[in-house]
Amino acid sequence: MQQATPTDDIDREMAAMKPVGRGRVVARMLGAIALVLLAPVLILLVAANGVTTSTLALGALSVAIGLMTMVRPPPDGSRRVAWITTTALCLTGVSTFVVTRLLAVPPPQEFHFVEEGRRDASPPWLSRLADERETVLAGLYFSDVLGLIKGRERDHLDQLLRDAYAESSRAWPNAVLIESSSHASRHLEHVPRGGGAVPCIVFLHGFGGQLTAYVRVLHQAFGDRFVIVAPFFDYTGAFWTPRGKAVVSALVTKHLPPEVDRSRIFLVGLSNGATSATAILQDPELSRQFRGFVLVSGIGEVVQPNPGANVLLIAGTDDPRFPLDHIQSTAESLRGSGARVNVETFPADHFLWLSHAREMTAAIDNWLSSQLRE
């Protein structure tokens, strides 16, 4: 019996290796694209949050994609067993994570998701899968990389956000990943217990998208007395655009809950949301829907008078994005157009919504009370 030589072993391995077919080439291309897209997301999440269940699942998904598309399965032996076992374990872990997140009973929330007036609507699947705290901190880290926010300002906001998300139950759904579109008006909604018509606060978010941490500030201060609705738009918070105004208009004319007293609706805007509120208060038609306007850490250009508009401006004395002198000069322009304007300032930077939440909401409460007595 002739004994096998090393050359024979090499010949058998070469024979087992089949030419790479067109399907395999396509699979490798798709796998490469997926890995290129997943890699920066995974890096951002780990850099901002450390190792979490989400990052482990995303890492397992990356490994599975790489093994299935970029690595040729060994023909036989222990290496093939290892390839199959590793791939199966990664896919099992990812599947378990996805099914657990999508089917989990959501934790108690102050707000409910509403789409096109349907209060039993299910949020988009990605917003139920990804954790909002992790998404927000990764977004802040990415903003730092891009140079949008740096140094002490970045560190301050990072600590404020970590504290805000640590003080309550896990946000559900992930508000940052939800947007409204021309065919789907979406918002978060809170209705206080009890009967009768109640006043309403409509909250416009700023750059970065809707944050549950922001709307919880309103709930803590006004949730027992006001309906609170917070429309989604996109990451820009540019409700001043025609599409943004259409989202606000659809909300206040079609999708507010029946408990709202429509003669007592107030628009509250934060940062870019405040810029948007400035544009809306100058819109002859849309401004009629609101009893008053609260602009926090932001303001827009005054181009059209709105005599009789009731406006509260809240600003930080150390806000580099909307300096106090700009706020005060624009307040004078509003007064010159016939609006009734109050200005409240706090020793804070651009993020006073979180750093001075109690003082800010107390000032808003006093102003709202005076408006409701008129």
Per residue in 339-351, pLDDT (tens digit) is 999 999 999 999 9
Report the C-alpha gap between 361 and 223 in whole angstroms: 12
Percent share of the chain, pLDDT over 70: 94
Hey, what are 289's tokens?
A: 């829907």
> Parallel, antiparallel, or unpaired: how do β-strands 260-270 and 112-115 relate?
unpaired
197-215, pLDDT tens digit by residue?
999 999 999 999 999 999 9
Residues 315 and 297: beta-carbon distance below 8 Å? yes
Count of CB atoms within 10 A of residue 139's CB? 18
The confidence score (pLDDT) of residue 3 equals 55
The confidence score (pLDDT) of residue 93 equals 95
319-340, pLDDT tens digit by residue?
999 999 999 999 999 998 889 9
Report the C-alpha gap between 238 and 253 in whole angstroms: 20
- Residue that has been written with the tokens 């509260």 in this structure: 312
Q: Work out the end-to-end distance of the chain between its first and last CA atoms, rounded to an integer number of angstroms.
A: 108
What are the distances in angstroms from CA 104 to CA 84, 112, 128? Answer: 29, 16, 9
- Phi and psi torsions of 256, nearest 5°: -70, 150
Angle between helices 53-69 and 78-103 in degrees, nearest 10: 140
Report the C-alpha gap between 78 and 84 in whole angstroms: 10
Hey, what are 336's tokens?
A: 């010159």
The confidence score (pLDDT) of residue 15 equals 47
Residues 6+ apart with CB under 8 A from 193: none
pLDDT at 17 over 80: no
Q: What is the mean pLDDT of residues 57-67?
A: 94
Which of 326, 356, 206 is closest to 275 using CA atoms?
206
The confidence score (pLDDT) of residue 1 equals 46
Average pLDDT, the chain: 90
The confidence score (pLDDT) of residue 14 equals 47
Report the C-alpha gap between 128 and 363 in whole angstroms: 35
The confidence score (pLDDT) of residue 8 equals 52
Residues 245 and 283: beta-carbon distance below 8 Å? yes
pLDDT at 11 over 70: no
Lowest average pLDDT, out of 154-163, 180-189, 233-242, goes to: 180-189
